[in-house]
Amino acid sequence: MKNNALKGSLYIALGASSYGMLATFVKIAYQENYTTAEVTLSQYGLGFLGLLILNLFQKKNSHSSPKKMNFKSTLKLIMAGSSLGLTSTFYYLSVQYIPVSAAIVLLMQTVWIGAVLETILYKKFPEKRKIVSIVLVLIGTLLAVNLIKEAAVINWKGFLYGMLAALSYTATMYSSNNIELHLPPLKRSLYMILGGLIVVIFIFHSSINQEFTFDILLNWGIVLSLFGTILPPLLFTKGMPLTGMGLGAIVASIEIPVSIFIAYIWLSEAVSLFQWVGILLILFAVVLMNLQKK
């Protein structure tokens, strides 16, 4: 049992670390004069292609009869995946205006937004531990994005995009844990990424016809699709059953320090002591919220 939990934790840590690298990759792509449209379309286009190939390969090598999908199931997953496309779009727009460290902290507001969503959907007031966690996240956010010291100079456009990314990410997390769970993870990922692809095509369709730079497919598309749309779903779906949701969520929070560390190494983004205190408060809140009661 302990070995399974350890193995599952490793899978989840690798998946979360993959997600954590994305913002830095996107920021470097921006420095090379690629646009949000090019970054997002290349990630989802190649990601969908990669998952399609993996699904075909799995189907060919599967000895059991595949579970059939009806139109309703397909439509549900595609619609659920639309929030995935919105998350990437808003997140990548936010890092145009604010540092990676601030963008990842804003994305993690899903911790308290998710608790609010649960309260609305299930009409059940959160327990004290969750309320304390939410307060810690909010205090940590004030420190981590320097709102207390630099409220006058913060880029509010980047802040707004970051919060919209958090709202979309909350919808994605809800969909991932509640919709068509009886289907194989690879198949679910394929149709959710298809939903995301449809959304980003709808948002950025004018860029395809005008100034889309196709060399991004080789320069950044493969990297972004691998670390953003192929590896994380596979690693999470392997790891979560071994750890359970509580431990899984705690391990997945490694995405925050990984994202900040990679940005520090490759982008030389400085993080103050106040910001580190805020980040540690958020991590502590995630652990507190997901600890199992004895």
Residue that the structure tokens 């840590």 belong to: 13
Stronger pLDDT, 57 or 21, i.e. the higher one? 21
Read off the tokens for 223. Answer: 């990297």
> b/e string for 169-198 if b means 16 or more Cβ within 10 A?
bbbbbbbbeebbeebbbbbbbbbbbbbbbb
Most confident of 45-49, 72-76, 167-171, 184-188: 45-49
* Average of per-residue pLDDT across 119-139: 83
**Mean residue pLDDT across the chain:** 84
Range of 178's domain? 2-59+71-290
* Average of per-residue pLDDT across 31-37: 92
SS3 assignment, position 161: helix
Helices (H), the chain: 2-31, 36-61, 71-97, 100-107, 110-122, 128-144, 147-150, 156-178, 185-209, 216, 222-225, 231-243, 245-252, 255-267, 273-290
Count of structural domains, the chain: 1
Q: 39 lies in a domain? A: yes
> b/e string for 273-286 if b means 16 or more Cβ within 10 A?
eebeebbbbbbebb
Q: 286 lies in a domain? A: yes
Q: Is the pLDDT of residue 131 over 70?
A: yes
Give the model's pLDDT for residue 152: 47
Q: 265 lies in a domain? A: yes
Q: Where residue 65 falls among pLDDT bands split at 50, 70, 90?
A: low
Read off the tokens for 113. Answer: 């937004």
Rounded Cα gap, residues 249 and 254, in angstroms: 9
Contact at 8 Å (CB) between 259 and 21? yes
Least confident of 18-27, 31-40, 57-66: 57-66
Model pTM score: 0.86
Most confident of 41-55, 107-121, 133-147, 279-293: 41-55
Residue 97, exposed/middle/buried by CB under 10 A (0-12, 13-18, 19+)? middle
Q: 65 lies in a domain? A: no
Most confident of 56-60, 67-71, 99-103: 99-103
SS3 assignment, position 92: helix
Q: 64 lies in a domain? A: no
Q: 66 lies in a domain? A: no
Q: 210 lies in a domain? A: yes
Contact at 8 Å (CB) between 228 and 88? yes
Q: Is the pLDDT of residue 64 over 70?
A: no
Q: 122 lies in a domain? A: yes
Phi, psi of 174 (to 5 degrees): -65, -45
